[in-house]
Amino acid sequence: MTSEPIRLGVAGLGRAFMLMLPTFRNDPRVRLVAAAAPREESRRAFEAEFGGRGHATVEGLAADPEVEAIYIATPHQMHADHVTAAAQGGKHILVDKPLAVTLEDADRMVEAADKAGVHLIVGPSHSFDAPVALAHELIKSGEFGSVRMVQALNYTDFLYRPRRPEELRTEEGGGVLFSQGVHQIDIVRLLCGGLARQVTAMTGAWDPTRPTEGAYSALMNFENGAFATLTYSGYAHFDSDTWMGNVAELGGEKPPEDYGKARRALVGLDAEAETKLKTTRTYGSGAEPPAARHHEHFGPIIVLCDRADLRLTPDGVEIFGDTERRFVEAPLGAVPRKTVIDALTAAVREDVPPPQTGRWGRASLEVCHAILRSADNGAAVDLSRQCGTTEKEEHA
């Protein structure tokens, strides 16, 4: 093992990169050495801050000899080509969720990483959140017996944040399933052991000006007998952060006056103006997210076990046992999203993959498609591409 920082390249300098920026700036285990982005303004801003090289294409980044791993933060529909290019360049890969839009692309990405002998990690997703990781460790300890049921809920303003036109088209990865549902699916699969069997679901697409799925509710069962309910709405009415102590998804305090802010910002905008508004959230153009006083979260999650119920919070896990109730803190460190860099470092430096491999990301993507299919035909959908929390645990 070497203690040298991972020489990291970044593909895409948009919103996803902005959310990882505090991590990259504060974790000495990674050093940004290059970036690829179509906007020259973003490339110049990257070079000015990090002193690395700016590339106009991901292929150029993948061929950069200084880079040993690439964080791919480009739009969903570009992931397959960019992961393939990075793998062919011999780079380890951290790709933002979802792994891809289609399962065929997901297969191609997993195969490319396998053929090149590089690690493919899907994240950050909220399954990396410290309270989720803590709950996972508590479950693995066996102290509370088997997981029997999980309930996951989230109500946000996701559908009314600034969107490019393709982000409102399901077939191009738009809507709440591929961007948000995959978070919830990832968390629930991790807590239930990963090997989901079947999904029954309904979806809602209720605003013709945002013509894609804005809500869903699903029932998922697992090979170990556990089952889970997953509900999400991005229609910007009730806000489930009120159930999380008014802590926002990114861990900051949520001011009451922010209610309705997303919808108000879109009033009177056409598609071109909305796309322009979105660019104000990218690197070199927009404000960075404020420092958080809590961990990130993805809404209320309760895990029912044989001898306790576990409630995940932005600060840790509350345990409701047979005869006592207690709280286990997940300490907040100086580096946000530290668990993502933990996973990347273990994979690149020690050849130890996290649960969230390419196969894991493909399994979560399969559930996204199963939810859409079940909602369309009204029937339960069997799953066949699932994997457990280690790559040795897969469906036959």
Looking at the DSSP assignment, which residues form a beta bridge with residue 122?
Answer: 95
- Quick one: 317 and 370 in the same domain? yes
Indicate whether 344 pLDDT > 50.
yes
Average pLDDT over residues 77-93: 98
Identify the CA nearest to 236 among candidates 159, 162, 152, 167.
Answer: 159
Tell me, yes or no, whether 394 lies in a domain. no
pLDDT at residue 391 in the model:
58
Measured CA to CA, the distance from residue 147 to residue 160 in angstroms comes to: 35
Q: The pTM is what?
A: 0.95
Q: With 70 as the cut, is the pLDDT of residue 230 above it? A: yes
User: What pLDDT is recorded for position 280?
Assistant: 80
On the question of pLDDT at 392 being above 90, the answer is: no
Task: Single out the residue of 112, 125, 149, 110 nearest to residue 394, CA to CA.
Answer: 110
Q: Which domain holds residue 39?
A: 6-126+337-357
Q: How far apart are CA 279 and CA 162, in angstroms?
A: 9
Summarize the confidence of residues 18-27 as an average pLDDT.
Answer: 95
- Residue 100 falls inside a structural domain: yes
The domain tally of the chain equals 2
Distance (Å) of CA 101 to CA 79, 232, 346, 382: 8, 19, 27, 19
What is the rounded distance in angstroms from the CA atom of residue 110 to the CA atom of residue 394? 14
User: Is residue 283 pLDDT above 90, yes or no?
Assistant: no
Model confidence pLDDT, tens digit, residues 325-337: 999 999 999 999 9
Quote the pLDDT of residue 281: 76
In tens, the pLDDT along 348-375 reads 999 999 999 999 999 999 999 999 999 9
Give the separation between CA 49 and CA 217, rounded to whole angstroms.
43
Edge-first strand order for the sheet with 6-11 is 53-55, 30-36, 6-11, 69-72, 92-95, 120-122
Specify whether 177 is located in the same domain as 324. Answer: yes
Tell me what pLDDT residue 390 has.
76
Query: Residues 212, 69: one domain?
Result: no
SS (H, E, C) 112-171: HHHHHCCCEEECCCHHHCHHHHHHHHHHHCCCCCCEEEEEEEEECCHHHCCCCHHHHCHH
User: Is 287's pLDDT higher than 50?
Assistant: yes
Instruction: Record the tokens describing residue 62, joined without a space.
Output: 């993948």
CATH number at residue 288: 3.30.360.10
Q: Tokens 């961007």: give the residue.
A: 179
Q: Examine the domain organization and report whether 114 and 150 are in the same domain.
A: no
Positive or negative: CA dihedral 369, 372, 374, 377? negative
Any idea which of 103-107, 228-232, 283-287 has the lowest mean pLDDT?
Answer: 283-287
What is the C-alpha separation between 69 and 91, in angstroms, rounded? 5
33/70 same-domain check: yes
One domain, residues 131 and 220 = yes
- Is 1 within the bounds of a domain? no
Tell me the mean pLDDT in the region 281-286. 73
Please report the pLDDT score of residue 291 as a whole number. Answer: 83
- 220 and 279 part of one domain: yes
pLDDT confidence of residue 394: 59
Shared-domain flag, residues 12 and 157: no
Domain-embedded: residue 389: no
Q: What is the CATH number of the domain that holds 17?
A: 3.40.50.720
Q: Which of 20-34, 102-116, 190-204, 264-278 has the lowest mean pLDDT?
A: 264-278
> Is there a single domain that holds both residue 158 and residue 294?
yes
pLDDT over 90 for what percent of the chain?
91
Given a cut of 50, whether residue 217 has pLDDT beyond it is yes
Q: What is the mean pLDDT of the chain?
A: 95
Closest CA to 10 of 30, 34, 44, 38: 34
Judge if 19 and 69 occupy the same domain.
yes
pLDDT of residue 1: 44
The reply to whether 142 and 235 lie within a common domain is yes
What per-residue confidence (pLDDT) applies to 117?
Answer: 98
Task: State what percent of residues in the chain have pLDDT above 70.
Answer: 97
pLDDT at 289: 73
Q: What does the pLDDT read at residue 290?
A: 77
The span from the first CA to the last CA of the chain, in angstroms, equals 34
CA–CA separation, 252 and 285 (whole Å): 21
Cβ pair 245, 219 in contact under 8 A: no
Do 19 and 166 have their domain in common?
no
